[in-house]
Structure 1
Amino acid sequence: MSNKHFVNDPVHLLNTALHSAPLTNPSLALDEENKIVYCKPRPESHPGQVAVISGGGAGHEPSFVSFVGDGVLRAAVSGSIFASPSVKQIYSCITRRVDPNSGVLLIVMNYTGDILHFGLASEKAKAAGINVDMVVVADDVGVGREKNGKVGRRGIAGTVLVHKIVGALASSAAGAASLKEASALASLVAANIVSVGSSLAHVHVPGRVVASDGDEEGSLKPDEIEIGMGIHNEQGYKRVKIPELPELVSILLGQLLSKEDKDRNYLEDVEKIEGWMGAITTEVAKQLDSTYSIKPKRIFSGTFMTSLNGNGFSISLLRLVNTGLGKAKSMLGLLDAPHQSLGWSAPVKQETWASKDKQTQSSESDAKEESIPPSGLKLNVNQFCYTLSNALKTLIKAEPEISRYDELVGDGDCGSALKKGAEAILQLISANKISPDAVITVSALAEVVEANMDGTSGAIYSIFLNSLAKALREAGEGEVNLGVWAKASMTALVSLRKYTPAQPGDRTLVDALQPCIISLAEDGDVGKAAEAAREGAESTRGMKASLGRSVYVGEVGDTPDPGAVGIAVLMEGLAEAV
């Protein structure tokens, strides 16, 4: 890999790159603090439009910020290089940088951090009464089904086709689309895209010290190319001696279209396809015709999603299927629809330059405190605080045990993360900030957990609590009782499954959480629910992990999953105080 960059400070590089967006497209504005590029509000904008938001780690320019503009994205949120943006950034984008009144659609690539953080922001917004949906794009066939397992295909450059088509629908002058229609179209487009890439070398993140070319671990040899390498240097399908371009294109198209490759064939009835959209060069078009009898309806060749200084390219193919929305809103029609984004390589309108001094989104909302609308569901504050405090103190006491387990099978931070979150909630209780409104209280707990618990466990707990708040809001009015908690917890568990594929047997906290909630719903007994949680945690001893960092650990022996133990301890503390 080459370690040469014009700017070697990754923070400065990202910040200056974001500042360039409104300089090159005056219809845009920048929220510097939250790294959000968004469309300025305009009087002539059509009311009732779904706000389409995307984002992810930086380092893939022009994705995602250069696709912000009328007709594509309303906003994009940027993380650091190759790192997901935070929940705070995403939530701020949903609530402050777009008009959420007609619904917000989040389009996210299939990476764990992106799904969890965008998912948590989505659940927080729902708990606050905003209509939000999220679609995950997973188009990379570079690694097949068997190796992908439950994680699924990665998201790569085909994602920009979802941005363009759904963004055009959301801004269509032919009639505003509903959030349900926009979400359904995004899912349809995502299901009909396949992509694959290849690279001559790994990319280099500015500011990181690496060995000389060819010496770093896992580097490609000078005469090698990697088929299916991911956009963050993830391992691909295989490495081969660098072939001539026609042979390389043949290999890549084979992965995209060959019916013989059952591990990667995600599109059926290839011979029946009448129209395809592709992104690469003359060689691709020639082989699509000669080998597969496919004549593309559109060919877009250019820079859409990069990987820093990576020396490679990818091919994305989109099968044009009926959207069910009429000819004007066909996939092809929406691809051709006018827009004002630089990433889709079209000029900005002259009138936009003339109106470049119009004010940005009002800053009045920035100064307002975030508030959760009240509900009609009440709780006994004294009883709630006593029970929860006992559970949290039990969890804090168990921190050394949980940390010891995590040091053996993970990165050693599970116990400390749980302790930190528990201590923060105890401080909230000590400050008498527990509301008699059940929804407001659970939302506050979610906020504390999000701010104080790091890592995947923090995101999962926060998503669950935000989903719990939404379910409680829908429970109606009156005193919250055990039955209400149990039913709402079941709903929150279902919501959690949208953001993690974990199931009992995967060696995660779900091994304890799911049986605990099911027991609570069936028996209405906290003691029995705690026993079910402990049994679930104990069942993880010797279990092979399917998700999380434990996947990379060899034999786990008799060590239980630390996250599952945390759930069991918490429930035992609750049961003791009830």
Structure 2
Amino acid sequence: MSYRTKKLISNPEDVVTECIEGMVETYPGLQYLDGFPNIKVVLRADVSGSTYDKVAVISGGGSGHEPAHAGYVGEGMLTAAVCGDIFTSPPIDSILAAIRAVTGPMGCLLIVKNYTGDRLNFGLAAEEAKAEGYLVEMVIVGDDCALPPARGGVGRRGLAGTILVHKVAGAAAAAGLSLADVTAEAKHASEVVGTMGVAFSVCTLPGHFPSDRIGPGLMELGLGIHGEPGADVADLQPADVVVSHVLKQILSTETQYVPIRRGNRVVLMINGLGATTVMELMIASGKAVPQLQLEHGLAVDRVYTGVFMTSLDMAGFSISLMRADHIILQRLDAPTKAPSWPVGTEGDRPPAKIPVPLQPSRIETNEKTQLLSQPHELSEQGRVIEAAIEAAANALISSRDQLNEWDHKVGDGDCGTTMFRGATAVLEDMKKCYPLNDVARTINEIGTSIRRVMGGTSGILYEILCKAAYANLKGSPDVTSKHLAKALEAAIAAVSKYGGASSGHRTMLDALIPAAAALNEGLDAGDDPVTSFVLSAEAAWRGAELTKNMQAQAGRSSYVSAEILVSAPDPGAMAVATWYRAAALAVESKLRLIQIE
């Protein structure tokens, strides 16, 4: 069998699986879950979630960046790493499996690079784990200093500086700190680190032709770790000139990417991107240290030179600078058995794999054993919920073509089709298994239905919406209108947190946020809850229509010109307004009929 590039592989589809198999055989302190290869989780061989008495630190992302992330699993660093396919965020089920496998009563911290897929998948997994009773926090790392400050909620990309954050968090956890304190140290570390990369060739995915995007005698400045084009292309320069340019960009006082000023102490990381020789990396280190000292007036306390976060076989390197203080240096110097820090491992070889936890360890017993099914007799509340779900789903089904038409103008044209799939699945599942007399669990099951059929960003966002609402409502014996209003606020906060958008960014939130505000205003004023719900639906509709005049700052529409955007409202916001208004009117109608009965 021949491939388009010469690679030591068997099948391009199996490279991640086979890489992990080799890793756990090489390092006896690592093992993987027995759901492999579908669940690609590498974890410490000496940790069991049921007995682990420290904060678990979990990271991960797409593969192709080896030794990141699995190479940093070990005592004193990561407790587990979740591996996606090449340059692809790992699935939610794998992230949940990792949380369940290693998280004890102290909880766990998720460290996530700032890419939309990672934010959403890890965010949804965090919400599901919280609903199961786990203590979970998340820190997002965006250390890219190459591009201008991002517009809206997208933010800076996560690059090799993430590895330094792993080390700080892992050492803090190993020292026995609480989840709040480990999270605080990791967040602080993420805020004082900056990175910029330089490439001399583009990476080649297994089984693909190499790219000639960077021509002979040229280099690309500020590219991403997935081979994304950089900020600029320039003639190849000597090492000292290239290093000088990168350092000046990271330390620029105009952009203020990182809070490093003359007189500060810093940590320096020179990272190879995959095909750069050790000799070249050492040359870069040798040029960087005196420049930092003499030109920028910085004290270089630690230098790490090697291969930390690659981009497959890309020729190039990145420089990371972290402002150092006593605590950060203490954490970086703390012992670790993570094989790629680099520190060797020792000890007896345990089994290479352990079973995947089949169910949460701390979810209530009655919820473990109770099978979901529609109740034989619906309560008044159950009948209202049934009517609302049915009306909302049918409204989306009827709106498929209109939503697609709007999305063809400002997106990729499938918003209506995606909503149609989700609405159809919800209607089918409601007939079979929704516990309609239980509001919280019904909302949770809607999220499960959506996960099964709705792909892309919208599917994840809607599931986050449902799971966060469920987590907020869970445990409320009698769900009231005010409970639902608070659950809606919690769901909106979760979507904003993990999706990176907020009001005015031309997203689904521009319908949800006005709706929540109007609902709370009515309830606080003592108005009838149903009337407040209907009025909030009108606020959602007005908010969605106003998106036509907004400049998109998140999602695919952020790449579309303002002239095109004014031709259509945001399809995601209009979808929200459609189902929300249909549900509100159905609740009003159903309650009127019940009163007549």
Task: Give the TM-score taking structure 2 as reference length.
Answer: 0.87
- Give the Cα separation in 1 of the matches to 2:358 and 2:189: 35
CA shift for structure 1 position 34:
0.7
Counterpart AA for 1:299: V
- Aligned in 2, Cα 1:379/1:271: closer, same or farther, shift over 3 Å? farther
- Aligned in 2, Cα 1:401/1:14: closer, same or farther, shift over 3 Å? same
State the match for 1:63 in structure 2: 68
State the match for 2:349 in structure 1: 356
CA shift for structure 1 position 372:
6.7
Question: Could you report, residue by residue, the CA deviation over 1:251-282 in whole angstroms, capped at 9, with x for unpaired residues?
Answer: 011112233xx1254224x2231343443511
State the match for 1:494 in structure 2: 493
The alignment-based identity, stated in percent, is 34
CA shift for structure 1 position 312:
0.4
- Give the Cα separation in 2 of the matches to 1:385 and 1:413: 27
State the match for 1:80 in structure 2: 85
Counterpart AA for 2:14: H
Q: Aligned pair 1:339/2:336, yes or no?
A: yes
- Give the Cα separation in 2 of the matches to 1:396 and 1:372: 36
State the match for 1:503 in structure 2: 502
- Asked whether the 8 Å contact 1:141–1:264 carries over to 2, the reply is no
Q: Aligned pair 1:263/2:255, yes or no?
A: yes
- Please say which of residues 3-12 and 429-438 is displaced more in the overlay: 3-12
CA shift for structure 1 position 552:
2.4
**Alignment counterpart, residue 565 of structure 1, candidates 574, 592, 595:** 574
- Aligned in 2, Cα 1:308/1:200: closer, same or farther, shift over 3 Å? same
CA shift for structure 1 position 435:
5.0
- Asked whether the 8 Å contact 2:386–2:436 carries over to 1, the reply is no
Question: Could you report, residue by residue, the CA deviation over 1:358-404 in whole angstroms, capped at 9, with x for unpaired residues?
Answer: 585455x32789967779xx982222112211111111111111112
- Give the Cα separation in 1 of the matches to 2:154 and 2:49: 43
State the match for 2:513 in structure 1: 514
State the match for 1:16 in structure 2: 18
Question: Could you report, residue by residue, the CA deviation over 1:27-84 in whole angstroms, capped at 9, with x for unpaired residues?
Answer: 2111212111111235999842001000001110000011111111111111111111
- Asked whether the 8 Å contact 1:143–1:264 carries over to 2, the reply is no
Counterpart AA for 1:271: R
- Asked whether the 8 Å contact 2:133–2:362 carries over to 1, the reply is no
Question: Could you report, residue by residue, the CA deviation over 1:508-547 in whole angstroms, capped at 9, with x for unpaired residues?
Answer: 1111111112111212412111111111111122533221
- Aligned in 2, Cα 1:267/1:458: closer, same or farther, shift over 3 Å? same
Counterpart AA for 2:41: I
- Aligned in 2, Cα 1:245/1:516: closer, same or farther, shift over 3 Å? same
Question: Could you report, residue by residue, the CA deviation over 1:311-350 in whole angstroms, capped at 9, with x for unpaired residues?
Answer: 100111111125xxxxxxx22222122221111111112x
- Asked whether the 8 Å contact 1:379–1:437 carries over to 2, the reply is no
- Asked whether the 8 Å contact 1:379–1:479 carries over to 2, the reply is no
- Asked whether the 8 Å contact 1:107–1:136 carries over to 2, the reply is yes
State the match for 1:128 in structure 2: 132
State the match for 1:251 in structure 2: 245
How does 1:47-58 map onto structure 2 within 5 Å?
47-58=52-63
- Give the Cα separation in 1 of the matches to 2:400 and 2:306: 52
- Give the Cα separation in 2 of the matches to 1:45 and 1:547: 40
How does 1:387-406 map onto structure 2 within 5 Å?
387-406=388-407
Counterpart AA for 2:557: S
- Asked whether the 8 Å contact 2:134–2:362 carries over to 1, the reply is no
**Alignment counterpart, residue 230 of structure 2, candidates 221, 232, 236:** 236
- Asked whether the 8 Å contact 1:277–1:320 carries over to 2, the reply is no
**Alignment counterpart, residue 276 of structure 1, candidates 267, 270, 295:** 267
- Aligned in 2, Cα 1:369/1:245: closer, same or farther, shift over 3 Å? closer
CA shift for structure 1 position 357:
3.3
- Give the Cα separation in 1 of the matches to 2:350 and 2:133: 33
- Asked whether the 8 Å contact 1:39–1:74 carries over to 2, the reply is yes
State the match for 1:413 in structure 2: 414
Task: Give the TM-score taking structure 1 as reference length.
Answer: 0.89
Structure 2: gaps of 5 or more residues:
271-283, 368-378, 523-528, 588-597
- Asked whether the 8 Å contact 2:32–2:354 carries over to 1, the reply is no
- Give the Cα separation in 1 of the matches to 2:177 and 2:567: 54
Q: Aligned pair 1:152/2:151, yes or no?
A: no
Structure 1: gaps of 5 or more residues:
323-329
State the match for 2:169 in structure 1: 166
Partner secondary structure for residue 497 of structure 1:
helix
- Asked whether the 8 Å contact 1:10–1:81 carries over to 2, the reply is no
Partner secondary structure for residue 356 of structure 1:
coil
- Aligned in 2, Cα 1:494/1:542: closer, same or farther, shift over 3 Å? closer
CA shift for structure 1 position 150:
2.9
Counterpart AA for 1:15: T
CA shift for structure 1 position 283:
1.0
- Give the Cα separation in 1 of the matches to 2:402 and 2:96: 35
Q: Aligned pair 1:287/2:281, yes or no?
A: no
**Alignment counterpart, residue 538 of structure 1, candidates 542, 545, 554:** 545
- Aligned in 2, Cα 1:3/1:513: closer, same or farther, shift over 3 Å? farther
Partner secondary structure for residue 322 of structure 2:
strand
- Asked whether the 8 Å contact 2:119–2:498 carries over to 1, the reply is yes
Partner secondary structure for residue 251 of structure 1:
helix
- Please say which of residues 231-240 and 66-75 is displaced more in the overlay: 231-240
- Please say which of residues 562-571 and 512-521 is displaced more in the overlay: 512-521
- Aligned in 2, Cα 1:272/1:373: closer, same or farther, shift over 3 Å? farther
Counterpart AA for 2:92: V
Q: Aligned pair 1:189/2:189, yes or no?
A: yes
CA shift for structure 1 position 424:
1.4
CA shift for structure 1 position 202:
1.8
